[in-house]
Structure 1
Amino acid sequence: MLHYKIYHYENDKINAEIIQLYSKVFKVDFRNDFQWWYLNNPSGKSMCVVALDNHHVIAHWAVTPLPLNIMGNKRTELISLAAMVDPQYQGQGVFAQMGPILLQYLTNNTNYSFIIGFPNDNSLRAHVKYLNYVPLRDYHFIRFPRGTSPAARNYELMDLPVAMDNVFPPNNLITLNRNGAYIRWRFGNKEKYQMAVDENQRAYIFTQYKNKIDILVWDYGAGDEDIIALSDYLYQTFNPESVCTWNSLSFDKSLPRDERVYHFCICLLNKEQLVVPNIMNPSQWLLQMGDSELF
């Protein structure tokens, strides 16, 4: 018989089984990322629900705190991390039983107001049906052609500075609060993330994977032309096969789409006490590719 429990990552044996399950389900080595995402988050420790069969982890779903800027007010809310069920137990209603347990715990025992998530096409239905997620908008990759910027610009490749609180200024919409602690935690891996700064001191963080570059986050003051100019610089400097980002700005209407769709969703933990009245209005949110947990 399966047993479900709220878990706070205090047991090394269970932690090791979660890592093994992640590797089994997603076919990747998750040891370093587990420590990073689940244990070292400066905004707070992750929380999860696990399903156990004979004391062994067969399913896991977690949330972790995320600093947000909501119309100028700083709040900490939650982002959903990977939900996974052992392939041998899939199709048996495990996720349907597991998800509501964590939602009830968060509603009754924490002060968080909502969870954001970015399920793909395969998992969207389960998130909506079992986790009360409400889809707000879709994000897909757009691919920048080479040589589309009208004029070359100057950039400097830089390490993340010791303090970075002012590099990404707050916006009057709902955005990530990219304070120094968050930036250093989220993008501090120099082997994975790099930063370019343009001649106007606007910062951009990108990552290289195989022969592709993804532009993850940028200064909120940068617009379409600035991102397109950066893509030209990245092509000229690194010669990747493609440079991509999400369709966060308006350029997606004229540039080719690339790869699959991610669905930005919100799960309200307390529908009677909304943080702001228009939080379910997608036009009030400004999110970029690196604001998700996916890259």
Structure 2
Amino acid sequence: MSMSARIDTAMGRAIAAGQGNGQAPRRLAEALGYACTPGGARIRPTILMSVAAACGEDRPALTDAAAAALELIHCASLVHDDLPCFDDAAIRRGKPSVHRAYSEPLAVLAGDSLIILAFQTLARAAAEDPARAVQIIDILGTRTGMPGGICAGQGWESEERIDLTAYHQAKTGALFIAATQMGAAAAGQDAEPWTELGARIGEAFQVADDLRDALETPESMGKPAGQDDRHARPSAVAEYGLTGAVRRLKDILSGAIASIPSCPGEAQLAQMVRAQAERLTPVFASDSARA
């Protein structure tokens, strides 16, 4: 089975469990599935599985559960980010955001339910290797909450003075760090050496997202554009300018490849990181001249 198929299967199984087989409130159950589909690039679980494979994966069921749990947290964060109290975004992935499609109260409940479901998914797979599962749960909790998880990332937006590096690492980098660390842990390897790779990939994705927000349209992005400027949020474009942000993105991606720890699948993993770099950078190659 391909990596993409594994992710889709694991996500489908987790969402079905969360929907309660017809026993849950119908509209809330529908909102869970709506929030997770279409799935976009599923880049975080792809990175997680790629790291697990590179480390010599030997518990595929645990890897699958970890990948689904991570993606569930990501989807939950998007539901909450789009709420009127944050971005008040009307669209997400080319369709109405969850609060527009199902109401604000159901969007709050859907996001909360997805977070809980993520940890239930890991708990249900813990019999595969209890010690590894506990470590994975701890990593996901650390990178979701406080002091340096995605909750902290959202919290930085309410501060008068913002540390851009800490903001980017928490808001976007946290789940990429989770991806690399959880992948290593699922394969029975030490998670700590994988922190830098996740942090670098996460920062690259945030810089790329800042550039997209500044340069693209809602139609091309599948979500609102110009949000950083509209909400006076910190961004790489505001900090470095367009040309500087593009340069920063390329530097980060080069460093990401160099930071891959030694492992049996190091070459294949480097190829995956290069593919992601190519996916991020072409959009901005001609735009840097606009600065």
TM-score by length of 2: 0.29
Larger strand fraction of residues:
1
TM-score by length of 1: 0.28
* Larger RCO (CA under 8 A, 6+ residues apart): 1
Work out which of the two has the higher radius of gyration on C-alpha atoms and give 1 or 2: 1
Larger helix fraction of residues:
2
